[in-house]
Amino acid sequence: MSVDFDLDDGQRAIAAALARFCREEGAEAIARAEGAPLPRRFWRGLAELGVFALAAPGGEGGPEELAAAFEALGSEGCPGPLVATVLAARLLAEPERGAVLRGEALVAVGTPPVLPWAPEADLFVELTGEGAWRARPRGAVEAVASLGGEPFGRVALVREAPLEGLPRALAHAELARAAWLVGAGRRLLETAAEHARTRRQFGRAIGEFQAVAHPLADAWIALLAAESLERAAACALAEGADAAAPVSAARLSAERAATATLRAAHQTLGALGITLEGPLFHLSRRARQLAALEPGPAAAECAVLAGFGFEE
């Protein structure tokens, strides 16, 4: 029996609208501006397209549409606290949830002392192994450099109230992370494959050499597998089942496929692949950073094992 995980017409329309928005509004230029504030006009524009509302309880669309949207955002290298916003859309109560969904409030999510997007955040959510809390900064936020070039901050948090519904919220956030990484991996691979087709050495396109072609082919297979797991996880989440194991498996597969792809892409482009001005680095550095953000891969591995009946 075969299962069709292709996007339907509505999901393709969502992806196309978001890709068009990112290109018209300069998402790549924003991503290349290392450490620069996120333009709030850009963020509100994303919200107006309804991408954050896809994650909200009772919102239009569902996990399958969320996955389609984040694949498109990853392919365009869209910056911002996207996965954190998905989590906050599920955890926060009104009126804060509404402010997040409308793009009026940026949220920082993580475990102190260092949180992504803390220097610009309006709302803070602290994650621990025990749960999630609405929190506020204790004192000033100290900006720190980050691998992905996005604003990180060192901050102490004061917990104000516990937040309910973390398992379901994490499932949506991990699905969004997996989809973004799949989309980013696809873009990295397309860029590397085009370079391999057009760059000539010793009188031949470098893609004709097995040392170049085989790693790219392996990356394509890994991305196809990750895409299938990600879309299967979206279906499981849409059905209302306990999707912790399939979503975690999708996250792990996506981060490994994206990491393998960026390595193959960098090797294909050589020095051009790791220059700030080149066609890859603004995307690959964010993919690597997103794969490492809280909750880390160890939590996902535990969730997959628990799905098979193994306890930590």
Is the per-residue pLDDT at 312 higher than 60? no
106-155 tens-digit pLDDT: 999 999 999 999 999 999 999 987 899 999 999 999 999 888 888 999 99
pTM summary value: 0.94
In the chain the domains, ranked by start, together with CATH numbers, are 167-307 (1.20.140.10)
**By mean pLDDT, which of 9-23, 275-289, 293-307 is the weakest?**
293-307
Confidence of residue 220 (pLDDT cuts 50, 70, 90): very high
Confidence of residue 1 (pLDDT cuts 50, 70, 90): very low
Half-sphere exposure at residue 109, Cβ-oriented, CA atoms within 13 angstroms: 30
68-91 tens-digit pLDDT: 999 999 999 999 999 999 999 999
Identify the pLDDT of residue 308. 75
Share of the chain above pLDDT 70, in %: 98
Identify the pLDDT of residue 311. 66
Confidence of residue 2 (pLDDT cuts 50, 70, 90): low
Identify the pLDDT of residue 96. 96
What whole-number distance in Å separates Cα of residue 125 and Cα of residue 106? 11
What whole-number distance in Å separates Cα of residue 109 and Cα of residue 86? 10
256-284 tens-digit pLDDT: 999 999 999 999 999 888 888 889 999 99
Is the per-residue pLDDT at 57 higher than 90? no
Query: Who contacts 130 (Cβ-Cβ below 8 Å, separation ≥6)?
Result: none
Q: What does the pLDDT average to over 243-252? A: 92
Q: Which of 42, 45, 52 is nearest to 88 (CA)?
A: 52
Q: What is the mean pLDDT of the chain?
A: 92
148-196 tens-digit pLDDT: 888 999 999 999 999 999 999 999 999 999 999 999 999 999 999 999 9
